[in-house]
Amino acid sequence: MKTFTKLAFLGIFAATGIIIAGATAAQDAPAKVANLEITSAFTKAMLPGQPVGGGYLTIKNTGKSDDMLVSVSSPVAGTVEMHEMAMQGQVMKMRKLDTGIAIPASKTVELTPGGLHLMFIKVKEPFKQGGKVPVTLTFEKAGKVDITLPVEAAGPGGHMHK
């Protein structure tokens, strides 16, 4: 099921050059903190009345010790949680990760629509395409790093909220 979902997303990417262009635009110079490199950070425009937004990024651990993303904050949201999407039978469910997201040594962890993601809660102003969302990531060992998530068009691959 998971493979199917990934293939479905790849299909969407392949079918729409617009999204590929958007994804490329998100590839700013990597933010670095200790042995971690953060790339491909982005969020999506929120629809009117949508109370929460997702955040996506890739974290590469080039070091020899495991790390963990333990907390996330943003001045534009009351709270930022770490979530995971997973198929339970036929239903995609979202789960809050209370202990954080493990970033194992020599591994790359991707937060993507349909998988692990950040969830912006109590967003003050809905994210608008072309805007920027400042985020502070706190890692257990590497410490804090500030990044900026460009706001891309709302579109397929977003996730369902309950």
Half-sphere exposure of 112 (CA within 13 A, CB side): 15
Reference 59, options 127, 106, 11, 17; nearest CA is: 106
Closest distance to Cu ion from the beta carbon of 162 (Å): 9
Query: Measured from the CB atom, is 92 or 94 closer to Cu ion?
Result: 94
Query: Measured from the CB atom, is 66 or 84 closer to Cu ion?
Result: 84
Distance CA 23, CA 144 (A): 25
The residue with its CB nearest to Cu ion is 83
Closest distance to Cu ion from the beta carbon of 92 (Å): 11
Binding site for Cu ion (CB under 5 A): 83, 94, 119
CB atoms within 10 A of CB 123: 19
Closest distance to Cu ion from the beta carbon of 85 (Å): 7
Q: Which tokens go with 160?
A: 């369902």
Query: Measured from the CB atom, is 51 or 130 closer to Cu ion?
Result: 51
